[in-house]
Amino acid sequence: MDNENRRPSGLDTELGVLRMIAVFSALLIAFVAVFITSIIPFSVKGARASLWVLVFSSRVFNFIFNVRVGYAGGGGLRRQHGFIFMNHMSYLEPLAILSLTPVRFLAAQEVRMRPLSGWMAEQVGTIFVERENKDSRFAARSAVEKVLSRSQ
């Protein structure tokens, strides 16, 4: 029988509901943990504690959804330093990359306006840029240079 024509069984439905409950619970816990770690700012291995909370939360989401993140390059992505350019094939890319290692993001100013994800992006040190504004692009480049000089 084709998967397209197959109706979900009771077990499939129950697993889906359990998975969604797990996701919303993990999201709530992550939000509270990021909030707490942003009130008392401190760093662990050069990254904000709130960023480490999101790294761990991303790993939990990947586990819940059975997502495996692979890297075709040699040596492993966790040991790489520099830039990662994502092609935005999905909204899950940041979670996938974040589950590997703490990273800083460069995002459009519009991301900051999103209710939950914008606030979390600010708490983990995302650099925001207005693409149409030359001064904003310059400020973003300066912020990236500052982050890179600190990490070296």
The confidence band for 1, taking pLDDT boundaries of 50, 70 and 90, is very low
Assign 116 to helix, strand or coil.
helix
Structure-token pair, residue 137: 């692009």
E strands, 39-138, in order: 43-44, 47-48, 106-108, 127-129
Q: Across residues 134-147, what is the average pLDDT?
A: 82
Q: Across residues 106-117, what is the average pLDDT?
A: 84
- DSSP secondary structure letter of residue 79: G
Assign 17 to helix, strand or coil.
helix
Contact of 150 with 143, CB cutoff 8 Å:
no
d(CA 126, CA 144): 10
- DSSP secondary structure letter of residue 95: H
The confidence band for 30, taking pLDDT boundaries of 50, 70 and 90, is confident
pLDDT digits (tens, 9 = 90+) for 54-81: 888 888 888 888 888 777 765 566 666 6
128: exposed, middle or buried (Cβ count in 10 Å: 0-12, 13-18, 19+): buried
